[in-house]
């Protein structure tokens, strides 16, 4: 008699346990200190179970955990009624995602891993690009509908600059930019990347 195949529900439960363990260990130890053995022990599964689902091992598991977490807290585009408002809201969201302010893993905690692990860098970069493209398209289309001067490409540039500023500030100072710094970033830097938007941002 052959052994029964694991049920889809059980398989999903194991997958979620592995991803949850990965997310928790990133927050606790950082990417470099995590091993597949530690992941297996925390999730209470065998290494063979993990490798069947993620043949590439640790980088694929961690990237998948980050993607699932980001999707879980992903919200609709800001739609505040103005380009400046939408960009301000987007920057607030970037701060939370990059620094892990709501608990769990963050890009800050993955800096060494992103530097040293080419596969992790490739996977995370792809995820960031996909998310930025979706948000840029929505914000740009909303701005165009209101008659504001901003294209999805320009919004994408604004978000890329924002990611760099938030990540650099957090790494060099040890704390993420606060609300006042975020407003200065929006008004003094990001809004000026869009033709015709700088004057509107500077208006009282």
| Domain spans of the chain, in order of start | 8-58, 75-198
Give the other-Cβ count within 10 Å of 37's Cβ: 9
pLDDT at 10: 77
| Predicted confidence pLDDT, tens digits, the chain (204 residues) | 444 455 667 778 899 999 889 888 887 888 888 899 999 999 999 999 999 999 999 999 988 887 777 665 555 778 899 999 999 999 998 888 777 665 556 677 787 788 889 999 998 888 888 888 889 999 999 998 999 988 888 999 999 999 999 989 988 898 889 999 999 999 999 999 986 554 444 443
What's the confidence (pLDDT) of residue 1?
A: 44
CA-CA distance, 53 to 113, in Å (whole number)? Answer: 21
∠ Cα 89 91 97 (to 5°) = 110
8-58 architecture in CATH? Orthogonal Bundle (1.10)
Per-residue burial over 159-190, b if 16 or more Cβ lie within 10 Å, else e, is beebbebbbebbeeeeebbeeebbeebbbeeb
pTM of the model: 0.74
In angstroms, rounded to a whole number, what is the distance separating the alpha carbons of residues 29 and 35? 10
Residue found under tokens 């490798």: 51
Which CATH number is 75-198 given? 1.10.357
């Amino acid at each position: 008699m052959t052994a029964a195949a694991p049920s889809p529900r059980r398989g999903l439960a194991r997958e979620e346990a592995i991803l949850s363990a990965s997310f928790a260990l990133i927050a606790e130890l950082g990417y470099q200190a995590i091993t597949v053995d530690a992941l297996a022990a925390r999730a209470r599964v065998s290494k063979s179970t993990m490798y069947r689902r993620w043949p590439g091992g640790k980088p694929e598991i961690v990237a998948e955990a980050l993607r699932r977490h980001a999707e879980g807290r992903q919200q609709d585009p800001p739609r505040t009624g103005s380009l400046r408002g939408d960009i301000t809201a987007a920057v607030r969201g970037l701060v939370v995602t990059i620094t892990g302010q709501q608990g769990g893993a963050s890009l800050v905690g993955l800096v060494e891993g992103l530097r040293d692990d080419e596969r992790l860098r490739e996977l995370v970069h792809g995820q960031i690009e996909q998310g930025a493209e979706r948000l840029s398209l929505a914000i740009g289309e909303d701005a165009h509908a209101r008659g504001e001067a901003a294209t999805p490409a320009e919004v994408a540039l604004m978000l890329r600059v924002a990611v760099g500023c938030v990540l650099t500030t957090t790494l060099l100072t040890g704390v993420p930019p606060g609300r006042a710094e975020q407003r200065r970033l929006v008004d003094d830097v990001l809004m000026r990347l869009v033709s015709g938007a700088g004057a509107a941002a500077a208006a009282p």
